[in-house]
């Protein structure tokens, strides 16, 4: 346990020293500040108002920004350390490989998730001060969905990092993965596929497999029971799962995908040459 | 006891180690020499369980890959190239001590013995230290632990003569209880530290010889050097060795650590043309040995 905690602590300390973390924290804090300053909570669009509207915008932006931030920063953790020669020394110390790998992952999770959570909680605190009604249930589920999304992309990121032999290759692959997932959102390529009369089973399977789409559908379903903001594939899926069922799927699937990816990454990391 | 049994390793089908078999006893001090690309670092990484290889590597009967924690607890490692760690010096010492169940104060004490002002650099990022400071700290982390095997890749390359002497003293204190594997591409760098020389060439052992263990690691030699004429470069080299000028730059006196005598003579040989007289005297401080 000591090795795990030490590795997690080391990763947190290393991340806090880097510029990417500063940018990352500023981006998420900045989104909330800009949203508040722009008076988003005062406006009413499509029936959403107050903190609910702010939350929707924040969650949508998180879906776009959080995965790519996590991927780009996480993919350097194994491949970058290996390339820089950090492994040769640090892994000559008596620390278990499992403790090292999972400790780093846990540390990175804290570093990427805490700024997101802090920004969200700051918005809630501000909303309470202003006397807005806080959608507590939706807020709680959305935080859980964000945990799941972050876990998913951390797992994918560290898998890519374990497989790649150079940090540049890892970074390029991560960006490509993010782009493909983004393209296969309901409102982009999936929409085109539906218009071109692709097999419905294929469209539904892609929508269910894409963690970004799953997160988007689950988070939107909490606020919009009429599904006016969702795409057609999400509509069909949600109809089959039911709202609660889909939220459970939206919580579990990305976590499982991230967990499986991270585990495969660990097996690759443990099996091969370390430096 | 360290055992390499028919160890082979290839990168993209290019063999780097080819059927290497070695047994290193608990009190052995082995110089692992060979030119660049001979396979020294690869062999060390196999010993540390960092590379997957064919054959068998055992430390006290344990596989460093399978039983890494138990094996690496007994192994102190000093790499040739310091890693580019952004963590502070204090964090590195704390981390190393925690994972190896060691005492950070002991590591700090060793670093100070080597001439490092730990208090002044404690908060500095490791990567910002000078080459010599990094080397001293990594040596301190390795020697500040209770390890039975020391694996050092060109450990004294960046050390000044004073620190080298302190380093040799530290090794001398452990020479009967610790197996040492010291890698270098030059035998004269490590010859006096060891009692066995293993030379690698293109991944194979081409020489495995025991050498006379005549030099006391903690000995000092009083040296006198006289020059036939003033030579600035020679004067600078002697000053680097801590020598003091006693006669307008033509005569110099100083102390050379016993294990460094070959290296010192190597330096003198570059200026043979201006040497008038040289004397080296152990003053009976070498346990009565010549």
Residue B284 has pLDDT above 70, yes or no: no
**Mean pLDDT of the region B136-149:** 94
Q: Provide the pLDDT confidence category of residue B12 given band limits of 50, 70 and 90.
A: confident
Residue B24 has pLDDT above 90, yes or no: yes
Q: Cβ-count burial of B12 within 10 angstroms (0-12 exposed, 13-18 middle, 19+ buried)?
A: exposed
Residue A98: CB atoms within 10 A of its CB come to 14
Query: Could you tell me the residue ranges of all domains in chain A?
Result: 2-271
Provide, as residue numbers in chain B, all residues whose Cβ is less than 8 Å from the Cβ of A92: 48, 50, 72, 75, 77, 79, 151
Q: What percent of chain B has pLDDT over 70?
A: 96
B interface mutation test: which of A20, A76, A88, A96 has the most B CBs within 10 A? Answer: A88
Measured in angstroms, the CA of B285 and the nearest CA of chain A are apart by 37
Residue by residue, pLDDT tens for chain A (275 residues) are 688 999 999 999 988 888 888 888 888 888 877 877 776 555 555 455 567 777 878 888 888 889 998 998 898 888 888 888 899 999 999 999 999 999 999 999 999 999 888 888 888 888 888 787 888 888 899 899 999 999 999 999 999 999 998 889 999 999 999 999 988 877 676 667 767 777 777 878 888 899 998 898 888 887 765 555 666 677 777 777 888 888 899 999 999 999 999 999 999 999 989 88
Which residue in this structure is represented by tokens 């590597």?
B57
Residue of A nearest to B41 (CA): A88
pLDDT tens digits for range A66-101: 999 899 889 888 888 888 889 999 999 999 999 999
Chain A residues at the B interface, defined by Cβ less than 8 Å, are 2-3, 6, 10, 13-14, 17-18, 84-97, 271-275
Q: Are strands B179-184 and B149-153 parallel, antiparallel or unpaired?
A: parallel
Provide, as residue numbers in chain B, all residues whose Cβ is less than 8 Å from the Cβ of A275: 45, 50-51
* Cβ distance of B52 and A272 shorter than 8 Å: yes
Provide, as residue numbers in chain B, all residues whose Cβ is less than 8 Å from the Cβ of A97: 68
pTM reported for the whole predicted model: 0.84
pLDDT tens digits for range B185-242: 777 777 778 889 999 999 999 999 888 766 677 788 899 999 999 888 999 999 888 8
pLDDT tens digits for range B45-70: 999 999 999 999 999 999 999 999 99
How much is the pLDDT for A77? Answer: 83
Provide, as residue numbers in chain A, all residues whose Cβ is less than 8 Å from the Cβ of B86: 14, 17-18
Provide, as residue numbers in chain B, all residues whose Cβ is less than 8 Å from the Cβ of A91: 48, 50
How much is the pLDDT for B288? Answer: 40
* Cβ distance of A88 and B72 shorter than 8 Å: no
Chain B residues at the A interface, defined by Cβ less than 8 Å, are 45, 48, 50-52, 68-73, 75, 77, 79, 81-87, 91, 95-96, 98-100, 125, 138, 151
How much is the pLDDT for A107? Answer: 94
What are phi and psi for residue B165, nearest 5 degrees?
-60, -45
A interface mutation test: which of B66, B75, B85, B125 has the most A CBs within 10 A? Answer: B85
Measured in angstroms, the CA of A129 and the nearest CA of chain B are apart by 40
Whether the CB-CB separation of A182 and A169 falls below 8 Å is answered with no
**Helix, strand, coil in percent for chain B, rounding step 5:** 35, 30, 35
Domains of chain B in sequence order: 2-210 (3.40.50.300), 220-281 (3.30.70)
The span from the CA of B138 to the CA of A268, in Å, is: 29
Which of A86, A93, A275 is nearest residue B99 as measured by Cβ atoms?
A93
Which of B51, B71, B73 is nearest residue A273 as measured by Cβ atoms?
B51
Identify the CA nearest to B110 among candidates B79, B135, B82: B135
Q: Are strands B14-24 and B2-11 parallel, antiparallel or unpaired?
A: antiparallel
Q: Provide the pLDDT confidence category of residue B10 given band limits of 50, 70 and 90.
A: very high
Provide, as residue numbers in chain A, all residues whose Cβ is less than 8 Å from the Cβ of B91: 10, 13
* Cβ distance of B50 and A97 shorter than 8 Å: no
Which residues lie closer than 8 Å to B152 by C-beta, 6 or more apart? B77, B78, B139, B142, B180, B181, B182, B183
Dihedral sign computed on CA atoms, order A88, A89, A92, A97 = negative
Angle between helices B104-113 and B161-174 (to 10 degrees): 130
Q: Are strands B54-59 and B29-33 parallel, antiparallel or unpaired?
A: unpaired
Identify the CA nearest to B134 among candidates A107, A85, A20: A85
Which of A87, A95, A274 is nearest residue B99 as measured by Cβ atoms?
A95
The span from the CA of A6 to the CA of A100, in Å, is: 8
Q: Provide the pLDDT confidence category of residue B8 given band limits of 50, 70 and 90.
A: very high
**Mean pLDDT of the region B23-47:** 92
* Cβ distance of A84 and B75 shorter than 8 Å: no
* Cβ distance of A85 and B83 shorter than 8 Å: yes
Identify the CA nearest to B80 among candidates B133, B153, B130: B153
**Mean pLDDT of the region B228-257:** 89
Residue of A nearest to B71 (CA): A94
Averaged pLDDT score across all residues of chain B: 89
Residue B241: CB atoms within 10 A of its CB come to 22
B interface mutation test: which of A10, A18, A92 has the most B CBs within 10 A? Answer: A92
**Helix, strand, coil in percent for chain A, rounding step 5:** 80, 0, 15
How much is the pLDDT for A226? Answer: 59
Which of A13, A18, A85 is nearest residue B84 as measured by Cβ atoms?
A85
Q: How many CB contacts within 8 angstroms connect chain A with chain B?
A: 78
């Amino acid at each position: 346990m000591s090795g795990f905690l030490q590795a997690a602590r080391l990763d947190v300390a290393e991340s806090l020293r880097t510029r990417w973390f500063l940018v990352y924290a500023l981006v998420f804090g900045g989104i909330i500040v800009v949203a508040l300053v722009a008076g988003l909570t005062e406006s009413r669009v499509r029936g959403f108002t107050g903190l609910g509207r702010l939350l929707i915008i924040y969650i949508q932006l998180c879906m776009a920004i959080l995965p790519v931030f996590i991927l780009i920063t996480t993919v350097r953790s194994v491949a970058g350390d290996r390339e820089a020669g950090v492994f040769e020394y640090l892994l000559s110390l008596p620390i278990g490989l499992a403790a090292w790998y999972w400790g780093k992952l846990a540390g990175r999770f804290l570093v990427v998730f805490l700024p997101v959570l802090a920004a969200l909680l700051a918005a809630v605190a501000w909303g309470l001060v202003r006397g807005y009604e806080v959608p507590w249930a939706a807020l709680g589920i959305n935080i859980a969905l964000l945990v799941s999304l972050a876990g998913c992309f951390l797992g994918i990121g560290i898998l890519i990092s374990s497989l790649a032999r150079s940090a540049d290759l890892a970074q390029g692959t991560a960006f490509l993965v993010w782009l493909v997932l983004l393209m296969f959102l309901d409102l982009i390529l999936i929409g085109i596929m539906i218009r071109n009369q692709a097999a419905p089973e294929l469209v539904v399977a892609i929508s269910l497999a894409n963690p970004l789409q799953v997160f988007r559908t689950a988070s939107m379903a909490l606020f919009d029971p009429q599904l006016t903001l969702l795409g057609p594939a999400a509509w069909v899926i949600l109809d089959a799962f039911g709202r609660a069922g889909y939220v459970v799927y939206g919580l579990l699937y990305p976590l499982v995908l991230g967990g499986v990816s991270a585990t495969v990454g660990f097996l690759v990391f443990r099996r091969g040459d370390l430096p | 006891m360290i055992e390499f049994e028919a160890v082979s390793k290839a990168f993209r089908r290019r063999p780097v180690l080819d059927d290497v078999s070695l047994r290193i006893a608990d009190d052995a001090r082995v110089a692992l020499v060979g030119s660049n690309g001979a396979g020294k670092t690869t062999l060390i990484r196999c010993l540390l369980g960092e590379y997957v290889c064919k054959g068998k590597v055992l430390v006290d009967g344990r596989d460093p890959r399978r039983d890494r924690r138990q094996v690496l607890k007994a192994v102190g490692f000093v790499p040739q190239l310091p890693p580019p760690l952004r963590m502070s010096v204090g964090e590195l010492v704390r981390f190393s001590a925690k994972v190896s169940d060691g005492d950070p104060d002991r590591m700090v004490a060793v670093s100070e013995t080597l001439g490092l002002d730990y208090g002044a650099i404690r908060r500095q990022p490791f990567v910002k230290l000078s080459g010599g400071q990094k080397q001293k700290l990594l040596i301190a982390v390795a020697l500040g632990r209770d390890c039975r095997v020391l694996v050092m890749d060109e450990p004294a390359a960046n050390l000044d003569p004073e620190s080298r002497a302190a380093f040799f003293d530290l090794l001398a204190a452990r020479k009967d209880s610790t197996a040492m594997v010291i890698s270098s591409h030059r035998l004269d760098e490590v010859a006096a530290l060891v009692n066995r020389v293993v030379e690698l060439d293109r991944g194979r052992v081409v020489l495995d010889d025991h050498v006379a263990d005549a030099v006391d690691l903690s000995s000092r030699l009083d040296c006198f050097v006289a020059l036939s004429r003033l030579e600035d470069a020679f004067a600078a080299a002697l000053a680097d060795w801590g020598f003091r000028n006693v006669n307008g730059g033509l005569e110099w006196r100083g102390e050379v650590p016993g294990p460094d005598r070959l290296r010192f003579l190597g330096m003198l040989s570059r200026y043979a043309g201006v040497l008038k007289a040289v004397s080296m005297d152990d003053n009976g401080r070498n346990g009565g040995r010549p």
